[in-house]
């Protein structure tokens, strides 16, 4: 099974994840052999593998598929404000510390052809809070803190989080980031109604695009820009 096992793809067989198909003649022979596996054969599921015992006593050890995953709670563009924003990372509930060797996160300057511009220096700072475990139980705490360093309103980038398993295999997830100085600036770009939830000191003017309107309720808060103060 050496050559067959080196060229493998996932196939779920008799409910045991981890049987893998190769290509060409090797795959056809192996697949045909497994399809003819007697249903009375013994199947033992162990950590990381399935052990098959055929009717004639032949024993096969098949590695299970890697089920390690990483994701976000949403894949819509994530709005980052001047104070910084937290992006939650979704990991398997049964994750164990021994399941992976490293987790990394970073911001990738978006490439031409995706509608973004590149810069010599990154205008984003990315800080990763790695998974914590108590008595072997994952505490659902993994997140990324994204802080704009020199971003301008409307700037975009890609946040990428990668999990590396104990065999060196990588699983990654990406999400688009978009910067606005504050929630008011973002609301102005979208148009509609907006109620202020805190006092604001603006570094840049709030611009409502042509063709859109913004109904602003200060909610008892103030907006300051330079020497001008609105209440």
Q: Which tops the pLDDT comparison, 87 or 149?
A: 87
Q: What's the pLDDT band for 110 if we cut at 50, 70, 90?
A: low
Q: Which of 173, 100, 172 lies closest to 130, judged by CA? A: 100
Burial of 4 (0-12, 13-18, 19+ CB in 10 A): middle
Integer angstrom CA distances of residue 176 from 26, 38, 70, 164, 230: 42, 49, 16, 22, 33
Q: Is the pLDDT of residue 114 over 60?
A: no
Q: What is the pLDDT of residues 181-192, one digit of tens each?
A: 888 888 888 888
Question: Which pLDDT belongs to residue 43?
Answer: 64
Contact 213, 190 (CB under 8 A): no
Q: What is the pLDDT of residues 16-75, one digit of tens each?
A: 333 333 344 444 444 454 555 555 456 665 555 677 787 778 887 776 655 788 999 999
Q: What is the pLDDT of residues 4-29, one digit of tens each?
A: 333 333 333 333 333 333 344 444 44
Question: Which pLDDT belongs to residue 57?
Answer: 80
Question: Which pLDDT belongs to residue 153?
Answer: 84
Question: What are the residues whose beta carbons fall under 8 Å from the beta carbon of 231, sequence distance 6 or more?
Answer: 218, 222
Place of tokens 């995706």: 114
Q: What are phi and psi of 119, to 5 degrees?
A: -135, 155
Q: Is the pLDDT of residue 86 over 60?
A: yes
């Amino acid at each position: 099974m050496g050559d067959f096992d080196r060229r493998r793809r996932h196939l779920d067989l008799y409910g045991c994840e981890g049987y893998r198909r190769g290509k060409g003649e090797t795959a056809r022979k192996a697949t045909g052999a497994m399809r003819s596996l007697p249903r009375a054969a013994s199947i033992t599921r162990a950590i990381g593998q399935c052990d098959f015992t055929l009717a004639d006593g032949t024993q096969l050890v098949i590695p299970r598929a890697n089920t390690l995953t990483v994701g976000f709670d949403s894949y819509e563009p994530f709005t980052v404000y001047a104070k910084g924003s937290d992006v939650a990372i979704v990991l398997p509930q049964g994750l164990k510390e021994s399941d992976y060797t490293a987790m990394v996160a970073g911001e990738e300057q978006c490439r031409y052809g995706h509608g973004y511009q590149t810069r010599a220096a990154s205008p984003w700072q990315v800080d990763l809070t790695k998974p914590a475990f108590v008595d072997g139980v994952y505490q659902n705490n993994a997140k990324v803190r994204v802080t704009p360093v020199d971003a301008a309103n409307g700037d975009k980038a890609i946040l990428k989080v990668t999990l590396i398993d104990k065999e060196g295999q990588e699983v990654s997830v990406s999400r688009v980031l978009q910067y606005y100085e504050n929630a008011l600036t973002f609301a102005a770009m979208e148009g509609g109604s907006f109620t202020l939830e805190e006092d604001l000191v603006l570094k840049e003017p709030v611009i409502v695009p042509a063709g859109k309107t913004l109904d602003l309720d200060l909610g008892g808060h103030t907006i300051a820009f330079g020497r001008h103060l609105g209440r």
